[in-house]
Amino acid sequence: MNKRTKKTIIWTVSIIIAGILGYGTYYVSSIYSGLEGLQKKGEASPFREIEKVDAKAPEPPKWEGTEPVNILLMGVDARGFEEGEIPRSDSMLVASIDPVQKKIHLFSILRDTYTEIPGHSQNRINTAITHGPNTAMKAVGDLLGIPIQYYVYTDFQGFMKLVDSVGGVEFYVEKDMKYSSKADKNEYDIDLKKGMQHLDGNKALQYARFRYDKMGDFTRTERQRELMKAVGKKMQSTTSIMKMPEILNAVSPYIDTNMDVNDMWKLANVAYQSKMKGSEQVPPMKLLVEANIGGAAVLTVKDPGTLKQYVQDVLNSPVSESETNNSDTESGKQSDKQDAKTTNNAGLSSDSN
């Protein structure tokens, strides 16, 4: 090999290395900027009009990455609301992440659950967010008996952008789903056919919103948990990780959170290494009591103490070897679980979609 050839190789390798380092720098800075944009402050905050009356809550404790952390995920239907107005939560989930055991639990909260709203007497749990995110975190934390350190708030558009930005998900729709409404000019009609299929953002939202069956909101919350697990798994893919700056840029206008960038970095790293341990409805059926309060159909909790213990039992259940080995095949069993579901009980009628 002559000197000219060696020089050419050295220059080529140097250019490649420089290109990789340059892209790496761009990638990291883009992700940092995208994460930073998720936390809205001042006039950019969707809660700017109610911050003064929100529940008094300290800043989230500094998270060292070793203790469990609980995140309240809230989706709202903002149709017909003016900018600055906060609608009731259409869906509420709590993601509980254990960084030591590398496991994640997902709890979906029935929106008609009648409970104490700090500073605002008792009401449905989905009204808590109208008083601000701190109030919502405190209400959910008191109901479940666990501290809620963080929240993530979005609307229909944010959810659709998230699913579209990861390329959609392959998902089994357990039955035909159809619903039409002229009230919103048919913009959010639901029309899905039974079977395994590719769901883009619009179809995923249809699936998550559907509640027009015998079990109403009960089966809807389970569908939401299954769908969120599928989206979460897709976000762990190499393709999604490489597209993360693009994903963050797409969803940023529609999301608000109280997490800072450092906590987001640490949580993302833990979530990537963790497995979904399970998902549950809260309150569970055995603790629900249907009631009519002030002319409204609501769900009350038979024994609040038992509910809190139930949550602890779920979170502290041991991780078996078989569960660890089978976690990757859980989504493949989705259709079997859906087909085996019974629908003997009647659900409550609740707020419109």
% helix / strand / coil in the chain, to the nearest 5? 45, 20, 35
Instruction: Indicate the DSSP class of residue 86.
Output: -
Instruction: Give the span between the Cα atoms of 15 and 8, in whole angstroms.
Output: 11
Instruction: Give the span between the Cα atoms of 349 and 75, in whole angstroms.
Output: 19
Say if residues 50 and 131 touch (Cβ distance below 8 Å).
Answer: yes
pLDDT given at position 324: 46
pLDDT given at position 59: 59
Instruction: Give the span between the Cα atoms of 168 and 160, in whole angstroms.
Output: 9
Instruction: Give the span between the Cα atoms of 160 and 250, in whole angstroms.
Output: 10
CATH 3.40.50.20 fits 10-339, yes or no: no
Single-letter amino acid code for the residue at 330: E
Structure tokens at 152: 């993530």
pLDDT given at position 260: 85
| 3-state DSSP assignment of residue 135 | helix
Among the ranges given (162-166, 237-241, 298-302), the one the predictor scored with the smallest mean pLDDT? 237-241
* pLDDT tens figures, 250-289: 888 899 999 888 888 888 888 878 888 888 998 999 999 9
pTM equals 0.78
The residue written with tokens 């679980």 in the block is 337
Instruction: Give the span between the Cα atoms of 164 and 308, in whole angstroms.
Output: 36
Residues 6+ apart with CB under 8 A from 5: none
Is the pLDDT reported for residue 336 higher than 60? no
* pLDDT tens figures, 99-142: 888 899 999 999 899 999 998 989 999 999 999 999 999 999 99
297: which strand partners? 292
Give the C-alpha distances (Å, rounded to integers) separating 174 from 159, 223, 276, 319.
Answer: 21, 10, 21, 29
What is the mean predicted confidence (pLDDT) over 170-180?
A: 92
Single-letter amino acid code for the residue at 144: L
Q: Which residue, 313, 76, 36, is CA-closest to 208?
A: 76
Percentage of the chain modeled with pLDDT above 90: 35
* pLDDT tens figures, 284-335: 999 999 999 988 889 999 999 999 999 999 998 875 554 444 444 444 444 3
Say if residues 73 and 152 touch (Cβ distance below 8 Å).
Answer: yes
* pLDDT tens figures, 71-93: 999 998 877 677 777 888 888 99
